[in-house]
Amino acid sequence: MFLVGLSGGIASGKSTVVAVLRELGCAVVDADLIAREVVQPRFKAYRQIVSSFGTEILLENGEINREALGNIVFSHPEKRQLLNSITHPEIQKEMLKQILKYFVLGYRYVILDIPLLFETERWCRFMKYTVLVYCDPQMQLFRLMKRDGLARAQAQARVASQLPLDEKRQLATHVIDNSGDWESTRRQVLALHTRLQDSLDFLWPRLVLGTVVAGFGGLVFLLLL
């Protein structure tokens, strides 16, 4: 099994690509979904966030108001770093659990859907391939304003908090251009899936694991003699 990092920019259409991958039966580990889970009240990260940012970021039901917290961290880079230092360790633990599950189930590759893959870099070195969901920067801004009801200045600030898509494009091994219609994007995803599924890159980790297991079994056998 090998890992494929999937990223994009805010409002670039990554969720559209993930929906097609799931439809194809691909194994997808969603870092955003995990990030929402680990900040629920029953988790350690929740208590650390409330301690660091105050109770004013809470909704009436006690859950974290993601919009209020987002407004703070998008405007203050140091606050964003603090939030990341709290949530990233918990997110990574859960991601590793899910990767192991898919490995045991025999998947050839696993998609790691990580919005800030190229910004954080720590996951990139574990990826066999990286995929960027790209769209024209002006279209990205327009989609964000329309989707979230933001003024241009607000949308520009959120886009500016991430690496520009054109820079990410230079870092990715594969690019899915989502500037066109849905069918165009779907065709690109299908072609990528076929290429990854037909790849023999999954064999090396299996061979290594098989060698380790066989060696361990031989050692146990010798000890029992």
Domain extents in the chain:
2-224
Q: How confident is the model at residue 224 (pLDDT cuts 50, 70, 90)?
A: very low
> Token pair 């066999």 is at which residue?
128
The yes or no reply on domain 2-224 and CATH 3.40.50.300 is: yes
Residue 6 sits at φ, ψ, to 5 deg, of -115, 130
Instruction: List the beta bridge partners of residue 129.
Output: 4
What does the pLDDT look like over 14-23, one tens digit per residue?
999 999 999 9
pLDDT on residue 122: 80
Give percent above pLDDT 70 in the chain. Answer: 89
Average pLDDT over residues 140-152: 93
Instruction: List the beta bridge partners of residue 6.
Output: 113, 131
Model confidence at 214: pLDDT above 70: no
Q: What is the pTM of this model?
A: 0.78
Q: Which residues neighbour 4 within 8 Å (Cβ) at sequence distance 6 or greater? A: 109, 110, 111, 112, 127, 128, 129, 130, 131, 196
**Mean model confidence pLDDT for the chain:** 87
